[in-house]
Chain A
C-alpha cells in the first residue's frame, strides 16, 4: 500500500517540480515586467508545493530521503511527472496554454484531494488548492485574451493548443497505482474528472475563438516513468548539476 502512495506522491511532487522549473526559466525574460513578476509567483507556488509533496513522499518511503534528495538525486527514469510539464516553454503563448491545460486538471484534482481519507494529503491539498484556484483564473483569462486578441496571437494560441493536446489524455489515465488509492478513498478517480475538465476548456476555448483538436490520442509514459521525452534529461542536467558535481555538500 505505501508503495503505491509513495509512487503517487512522486507524481504530484514531480509535476510541480518540473513545471515550476519550466516557469522559472522565464524570470527576467517575460514579455512585460508585470508578467515577469506574476509568472514568478506561480513558479514559487509550485516550488512550495514540491517541497510539501516530495517531503511527504520521502516520509512515506521511510528511507531517509528528503524532498531535495528526491528532486536532485534521481535519474530521469525515476521521475513520475506527466509528459505535458516537461515540454519546453516555446513562446509565451505555448507556456500559457501548457499552463492552462495543466491548471484545468490540477484544480479538479486538488479539490478531490481535499476530501482524501489520508489526513496528511488532505491538509496539504487544503493549503494548495487556493493557490491553484488563482492559477487557473490567471491562465484561463490569458488564454481567452490571447486567443481573441490579434490574428497573430490567435494563431500562436491555436498552434499551442494543437501542440499540447496530445499530452492531455495522460492526466486522466487510471493505472494500477492509482486504482489502489482510489479504492481506499485516498485520491479521486481522475478519469471521472474528464467531464468537468472538458466543460471547463470548451467554455474557455469558445471565448478564446480557438478550435478544440479532433483527436483522442494521448502520449503516455511520463507518470508511469516508462518513457519520458528527451526533454527531461536535459532539464535534469541543469537542475541537478551542482548536487551531482559536488556530492555531499551543504548549500
Chain B
C-alpha cells in the first residue's frame, strides 16, 4: 500500500485570450511536467466551452508579485493625479465628440 512518493508535477498559471483583439486573462492553474503538456492540458481544462484562441502558461514560481503591504505606497499616489482620467475635464458638448 505504501509507495515511495512520486515527485509532484509543478504548478502552472494559465492565461487565455478569449477572442481576437482581447488581452490574455488569468483563468486558473493546473499541474503539468512541462510547458508543452501544460498548454495541452490547459486546452482541455480551460477551453471546453470555446473560451479561447490563445493560451499562455507560466510556472507559478516564475510569477513575481507586488507586496500586498505596499498597496498604499504603490497605488495611493495615483489618487492625487485625477487629471489622468478623462472625466476630470469638463469639455462643452458643442465641441463635439472628444
Interface membership of A34, Cβ < 8 A: yes
The 8 closest A-B pairs by CB, nearest first: A34-B41, A38-B44, A37-B44, A41-B44, A37-B45, A34-B30, A34-B31, A38-B41
Q: Once A and B bind, how many residue pairs between them come within 8 Å at the CB atom? A: 23
Task: Please tell me if the beta carbons of B36 and A34 are within 8 angstroms of each other in the complex.
Answer: no
Assembled-state Cα–Cα distance A41/B45 (Å)? 10
Interface membership of B85, Cβ < 8 A: no
Interface membership of A32, Cβ < 8 A: yes
User: Which B residues are CB-close (under 8 A) to A137?
Assistant: 40
Interface membership of A141, Cβ < 8 A: yes
Q: Which of A32, A34, A37, A137 is packed against the most chain B CB atoms within 10 Å?
A: A34
Given A32-B31, A34-B31, also A141-B44 (CB < 8 A): no
Q: Which of B30, B31, B36, B37 is packed against the most chain A CB atoms within 10 Å?
A: B37
Task: Please tell me if the beta carbons of A141 and B31 are within 8 angstroms of each other in the complex.
Answer: no
B8 to chain A, nearest CB (A): 10
Assembled-state Cα–Cα distance A137/B36 (Å)? 11
Assembled-state Cα–Cα distance A33/B37 (Å)? 13
Task: Please tell me if the beta carbons of B40 and A138 are within 8 angstroms of each other in the complex.
Answer: yes
Interface membership of B48, Cβ < 8 A: yes
User: Which A residues are CB-close (under 8 A) to B32?
Assistant: 34
Range class of the B interface residue count: 10 to 19
Assembled-state Cα–Cα distance A33/B30 (Å)? 9
What sequence of 0s and 1s flags, for each residue 42-55 of chain A, a beta carbon within 8 Å of any chain B beta carbon? 00000000000000
Task: Please tell me if the beta carbons of B9 and A32 are within 8 angstroms of each other in the complex.
Answer: yes
Assembled-state Cα–Cα distance A32/B32 (Å)? 10
Assembled-state Cα–Cα distance A32/B31 (Å)? 9
Instruction: List residues of A (16-73) whose CB comes within 8 Å of B's CBs.
Output: 32-34, 37-38, 41
15 contacting pairs across A/B (C-beta < 8 A):
A32-B31, A34-B30, A34-B32, A34-B37, A34-B45, A37-B44, A37-B45, A38-B40, A38-B41, A41-B44, A41-B48, A137-B40, A141-B36, A141-B37, A141-B40
Known: A41-B48, A141-B40. 13 other contacts (CB 8 A): A32-B9, A34-B32, A34-B44, A34-B45, A37-B41, A37-B45, A38-B40, A38-B41, A38-B44, A41-B44, A137-B40, A138-B40, A141-B37
The closest CB in chain A to the CB of B46 belongs to: A37
Assembled-state Cα–Cα distance A185/B74 (Å)? 69
Assembled-state Cα–Cα distance A41/B32 (Å)? 17
Assembled-state Cα–Cα distance A53/B31 (Å)? 36
The closest CB in chain A to the CB of B30 belongs to: A34
